[in-house]
Structure 1
């Protein structure tokens, strides 16, 4: 009688045990599993070695931190199949045969290249290759057309290949802490499903006009770059909710900035802004505004128009007083006025009933005035130092 393939494999490999046709809540190393159904704890991360899975099914999400010497043959994964090799040695030769992987974390794994077979992980939806030593954008990634999430931060990448347009399912892309100068090949701007883009800490001086095509973007981070002006293409991104321009060289905002009516968070800290941008007053859905470390001598009374503001930061400017209209911000929860030459606050500040955190570090407010502020805001935590 002709032997089955699985029997031949069992006889020619060394396993401590063979488990067949069972429903299991646990998983072990050095085991030959055949036709088993696994109901594993979705909160647990499993590390196993030298096990073989033939015609098995995994019901629910499964998360592994090690699969050295393991093989999956004709298996079914009903949920996420995740593998976390972060801060680990590059995995063994069986790694690229895990064709059913949907999430893979290889952060800080001391990799310079990806193996050729990496392109066969075609079911990957999430890939983290951050904090490695790539120095370039690996072409193997361009074959993974199901990718929705890609983190290539901290890799010394200097340019993005035009073939990135093949990754049409990408919704989250992290390219922070690289060496990008002029961002992007226009092809990146063809990733029409992109919702979140992180370009923090590069050397970006401008963005192409094609950037306006990224109409689904809601989160855009351009912190720590070398922008001297706000690219007009950004003002056409109508779905933007979070925008970070901190630590650039921006002096003012274009008139078109007022078009960003869905913006909820705007960060402009550490730029070269010397007068309050009037365009901000028309962003009536704004909930968080940071203009810290600029050159602002005053806050215009129009600040009272931003009625939905919850968090407001003016750290390290040249403020000597705050306008009474600021005290109309009934939804304000956090106010940071540290490192300004303030001598007092208006008594009307007691109207800020939602205020929970007030920062007044390194100001000129004396002891007597401090006691008054405490009495005006009995439910607020005030930080003086």
Structure 2
């Protein structure tokens, strides 16, 4: 009969918890006896006398001497619960729970009969030998818990408690027979008779209310004839029927492995000790005295001692899988009845020769012992599992002769080719996958693997977000037919995939691939290719060299080659799903190309950066730069007004071309941060009347500007302005309102005097006024501006006409050598 741990433990805990757990179970601090029921005090006094006789120091041990008189008084007993009657102004005892004090109680005083208010009585771990008849007069009693005493006989008076009794716990006693009145109870919910000396059950048990939970484990009900037919199936785990020989054998395993409650949560009877009948999963002979152990599974062990084999001689099935055992001793030959042995997934290196003496052995599992290299000839077997070992390897070379020897005896061999000498190339790939992607895993549990004849034939890795690389050792997978890495961050694949000629299906969807670098021409077995939801810019045309049945390239960025390179299934439907560039942005570049007679495809015009934008279905142009080379056919004369539609443009650089004006639409672009139109022929431009909050940097140096428009005041966030190398003679007053400017360069212009408005630019950190015709600097600058006047990187006034020191503030030092003072 197989132990059902869950049922046994749940039943025992439910009963024990109900009977032993109380709210606020403390002794009464008020020792004024006058407010307490006299009969209850008398009963407690009798209990107190027993405790004092057996342990006079108990008042110290229980920490319950509330009045510090070194005497244990009745109201100081733990644990008591009272109910106060406001009508009688008296407290009545309703609950008694003697647990630690129970060790010093020999009997239940007859005075208990007068405590008519009592609803719950718990006296456990005591020496009580009988239940007094007086208890049965307590008609309010709902819970009676006398666990772990020495009771050997029960009065046939339980019918007197039928009206209120709900829980009866008599486990851990020496009861041998059940009175008929106990089995006639109708309202009780739980009866616990575990761990007694019961050997038989009366026929009356068949009349027991089916709603009552009755537990009879750990008794001695060994013979079928001693149990009514109605109750046969409920008799389980009769531990006192078990052979002491086998129990001693199990005890030797517990002792040699120092099995504790931390290791094994198997203390079924909650006594704080792991008993042999509790350890492991076991099947015993049924309906017999001195029952022998037939089947057993033992977990969480590192050692199977020699002596155990002397005890478990009747065992037929022994499961020691998934432990840390490194040695099986020669004494295993003593298990003469053993038919099935599972020692898989341990740390064995060899199996002793004596195992061949087990004539009844038919099934043996040694798989998963990575270092196992030797197994005796076991031709009496029907089945043998040796996968993930090295048993059929000789000097790291597979020797098929080992297999043929077993097959000659019609033995089914599982994992014959799953030998590490065969599997090593594929294992190397899996180990590399773990290493290069820094996975917290081992080769054996990464992804979903299917092996056949020692070779990896299918590998799937889904939703592993940390995969960004496939190692080149994928070339080792010469037998792989299905390979998948999906829903990850894979950004590159090795060209060695093109060598996997057995590949039938390749799935790389939902990654970050922007190209497929390998050649498909050798993948003639490939029928399915899924590269959807990546960032591919081009369709891999070498696919056309094989006969693919299905290819999925949806949701990529294949935007330029809109015509299929060959016959591709549902090309038109899939090309419509590509995440391509916004047509308005493309149209701007096309207009730029057409209006300036530029050559090449739109994607080759200048340097372009496109980006995904939230809530935009297609990529938008955010950066455009075109640096011209004079005397070529790539010169820009005009920027088309369609630039107004490029609303996500952040930076525009058109440098060294032949622009003569700037379309005012540029200054309306809401995301534009930086504008560089230097080295052109711009002589004037206009700015929209709307305020621009995004533009921070403008470089219009090396042009032909004569002035700046007043509307420059609308560029409220401008921080850097370079208008050097132009023909400007004065600045508009509006510039003085650009109080965010940090860097201003007006060098190499035609200024003859300092624009007064500069002193309003209090955020300036650099100012370059060099190479003009300026002959004086206002004194107010020293107070208004916080520049490092003597640092050329911050302030440069060279190559002007600052020759009269009286026209130069004292905070500024000007070297006449660097001035035009003719």
What TM-score, normalized to structure 2? Answer: 0.31
Quote the residue 2:719 is aligned against.
Answer: 310
- 2: distance between equivalents of 1:362 and 1:325? 22
Quote the residue 1:132 is aligned against.
Answer: none
CA change 1:216–1:260 in 2 (3 A) is farther
Aligned partner (choices 599, 603, 608) of residue 181 of structure 1 = 599
CA change 1:14–1:264 in 2 (3 A) is closer
Quote the residue 1:382 is aligned against.
Answer: 794
Structure 1: runs of 5 or more not aligned: 38-50, 130-136, 151-159, 185-196, 203-213
Structure 2: runs of 5 or more not aligned: 1-411, 448-455, 544-551, 565-574, 590-597, 609-616, 628-633, 799-822
CA change 1:253–1:16 in 2 (3 A) is closer
C-alpha RMSD over aligned residues: 5.5
Aligned partner (choices 11, 28, 40) of residue 422 of structure 2 = 11
Quote the residue 2:768 is aligned against.
Answer: 360
Q: Please identify which structure carries the higher helix content.
A: 2
Quote the residue 1:168 is aligned against.
Answer: 578
- 1: distance between equivalents of 2:699 and 2:670? 17
Q: Once the 2 structures are TM-superposed, how far is the Cα of residue 382 of structure 1 from its aligned partner?
A: 1.4
Whether the aligned pair in 2 keeps the contact of 1:236 and 1:259 (CA below 8 Å) is no
Cα shift readout 1:46-68 (whole Å, capped 9, x = no counterpart): xxxxx999344563334349635
Whether the aligned pair in 1 keeps the contact of 2:436 and 2:471 (CA below 8 Å) is no
Whether the aligned pair in 1 keeps the contact of 2:507 and 2:531 (CA below 8 Å) is no
Quote the residue 1:93 is aligned against.
Answer: 498
Cα shift readout 1:213-252 (whole Å, capped 9, x = no counterpart): x997352515235332222332344454443333332222
Query: Does residue 492 of structure 2 align to residue 80 of structure 1?
Result: no
CA change 1:98–1:9 in 2 (3 A) is farther
Following superposition of structure 1 onto structure 2, how do residues 189-338 of structure 1 map, counting pairs within 5 Å?
199-200=605-606, 217-224=620-627, 225-254=634-663, 260=669, 263-275=672-684, 277-280=685-688, 282=690, 284-287=692-695, 288-338=697-747
Q: Once the 2 structures are TM-superposed, how far is the Cα of residue 285 of structure 1 from its aligned partner?
A: 3.4
Cα shift readout 1:316-367 (whole Å, capped 9, x = no counterpart): 22234433321211222333334445565435424323334x2528534889
- 1: distance between equivalents of 2:744 and 2:772? 17
Quote the residue 1:103 is aligned against.
Answer: 512
Larger radius of gyration, structure 1 or 2?
Answer: 2
- 2: distance between equivalents of 1:362 and 1:330? 22
Residues paired across the two proteins, number: 316
- 2: distance between equivalents of 1:60 and 1:215? 25
Aligned partner (choices 523, 541, 555) of residue 146 of structure 1 = 555
CA change 1:126–1:292 in 2 (3 A) is farther
CA change 1:258–1:298 in 2 (3 A) is closer
Whether the aligned pair in 1 keeps the contact of 2:437 and 2:467 (CA below 8 Å) is no
SS in structure 1 opposite 2:620? coil
RCO higher in structure (CA 8 A, sep ≥6): 1
